[in-house]
């Protein structure tokens, strides 16, 4: 037993002296294993407790515990010291100067097309419209036939179409959504449908891909008067309160009577300038009272219900608002140009 006590005391002395000298984490771990690990020196002594006479065991046991906790205490003090040093080092080397001025970051912005679309949606939703969507690859039936444009109708020539098959095409007008909504909805309803449209056309005022927003209201006793009041208000909200609105008779197969709507030129406010070719006004959308035939094709009783509709070009709206002479500049994505659009 005396031998064992001696042994323990010398382990303690040796361990504490070694720990004191350690200056890195790795060696500290090795020392930990060396004394306290499964194969460690102190563990070996514990195993030898079997051979200690039972009356001596408490004394030896107490000593083993004392030595163990002395070594553990010293090791954890060292560990703490290393952690503190590591933290101090990290704080010193990874210093962030929060007063340093930030680097110049270029901000993105919303493109004119979604900007106008969102503005229009806001105005219409405020007026009680529901926003709906429709497919861009459309059937000839919904795009033309159901809108009272039968095969060989001359107005098809105005909408040079991209056909996918004989009866499927890229929609030429968001009016196709009207056909679908009329077929599935029960009046009364008020919908708008913004989206992409396609025509085989390309010059300074036409792009093969462009955007429209369709509007449709069906109810009892809906008239041209309601349409005019609503459009006038809508144009004022879109182009500014001082805007004058002008209605001209027109023709569309799906409306009867049909109108075209002009707004006073935002550039010269009606005085006459280059943008409006001296007329003071710019044509902005087509509209009209829904042709009863269109209602009947969709299975709606045209004696009970009437409706009005309008279709508006989004690019055209932006061109008018910003006096842009060439539509194609909108798709060139020159940030300097796009940033100026309202």
Give the footprint of ligand DAH on this chain (CB under 6 A): 173, 175, 214, 252, 255, 286-288, 309-311
Nearer to ligand DAH, 64 or 312 (CB): 312
* Number of neighbouring beta carbons within 10 Å of residue 277: 11
Nearer to ligand DAH, 263 or 287 (CB): 287
3-state SS track over 235-301:
HHHHHCCCCCEEEEEEEECCEEEEEEEEEECCCCCCCCCCCCCCCCEEEEEEEEEECHHHHHHCCCC
Residue nearest ligand DAH by beta-carbon distance: 311
CB of 200 to ligand DAH, least distance (A): 14
Q: From residue 294, how far is each of 144, 173, 190 by CA, in Å?
A: 11, 15, 16
CB of 231 to ligand DAH, least distance (A): 11
CA atoms of 91 and 75, how far apart (whole Å)? 24
Nearer to ligand DAH, 78 or 316 (CB): 316
Nearer to ligand DAH, 74 or 173 (CB): 173
CB of 132 to ligand DAH, least distance (A): 14
CA atoms of 69 and 75, how far apart (whole Å)? 10
For residue 291, the Cα-to-chain-centroid distance in whole angstroms is 38
With beta carbons less than 8 A apart as the criterion, state whether 187 and 300 touch: yes
DSSP, collapsed to helix, strand or coil, labels residue 217 as strand
CB of 272 to ligand DAH, least distance (A): 26
Nearer to ligand DAH, 71 or 227 (CB): 227
Residue at token pair 């299975």: 299
Nearer to ligand DAH, 187 or 311 (CB): 311
With beta carbons less than 8 A apart as the criterion, state whether 199 and 157 touch: no
Residue 338's region, left for phi above 0, alpha for psi from -120 to 50, else beta, is alpha
DSSP, collapsed to helix, strand or coil, labels residue 207 as coil
CB of 285 to ligand DAH, least distance (A): 7
CB of 177 to ligand DAH, least distance (A): 10
Residue 280's region, left for phi above 0, alpha for psi from -120 to 50, else beta, is left
Q: Which of 215, 222, 340, 221 is nearest to 285 (CA)?
A: 215
Nearer to ligand DAH, 68 or 211 (CB): 211
CB of 217 to ligand DAH, least distance (A): 11
CB of 173 to ligand DAH, least distance (A): 4
Nearer to ligand DAH, 40 or 307 (CB): 307
């Amino acid at each position: 037993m005396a031998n064992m006590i001696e042994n323990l005391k010398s382990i303690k002395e040796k361990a504490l002296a070694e720990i004191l000298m350690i200056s890195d984490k790795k060696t500290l771990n090795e020392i930990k294993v060396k004394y306290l690990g499964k194969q460690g020196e102190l563990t070996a002594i514990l195993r030898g407790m079997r051979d200690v006479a039972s009356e001596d065991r408490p004394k030896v046991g107490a000593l083993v515990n004392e030595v163990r906790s002395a070594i553990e205490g010293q090791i954890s003090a060292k560990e703490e010291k290393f952690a503190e040093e590591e933290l101090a080092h990290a704080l010193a080397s990874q210093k962030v100067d929060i007063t340093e001025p930030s680097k110049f970051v270029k901000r993105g912005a919303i493109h004119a097309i979604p900007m106008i679309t969102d503005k229009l949606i806001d105005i219409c939703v405020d007026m009680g419209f529901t926003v709906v969507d429709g497919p861009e690859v459309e059937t000839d039936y919904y795009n033309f036939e159901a809108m009272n444009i039968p095969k060989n109708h001359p107005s098809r020539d105005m909408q040079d179409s991209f056909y996918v098959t004989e009866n499927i095409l890229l929609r030429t007008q968001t009016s196709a959504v009207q056909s679908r909504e009329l077929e599935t909805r029960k009046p009364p309803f008020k919908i708008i449908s913004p989206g992409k449209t396609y025509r085989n056309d390309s010059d300074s005022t036409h792009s093969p891909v462009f955007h429209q927003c369709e509007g449709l209201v069906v109810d009892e006793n809906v008239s041209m008067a309601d349409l005019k009041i609503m459009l006038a208000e809508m144009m004022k909200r879109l182009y500014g309160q001082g805007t004058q609105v002008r209605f001209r008779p027109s023709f569309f197969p799906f409306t009867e009577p049909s109108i075209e709507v002009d707004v006073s030129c935002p550039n010269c406010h009606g005085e006459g300038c280059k943008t409006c070719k001296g007329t003071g006004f710019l044509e902005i959308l087509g509209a009209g009272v829904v042709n009863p035939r269109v209602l009947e094709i969709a299975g709606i009783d045209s004696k009970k219900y009437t409706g009005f509709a309008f279709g508006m070009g989004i690019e055209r709206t932006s061109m008018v608002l910003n006096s842009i002479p060439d539509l194609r500049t909108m798709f060139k994505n020159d940030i300097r140009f796009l940033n100026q659009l309202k």
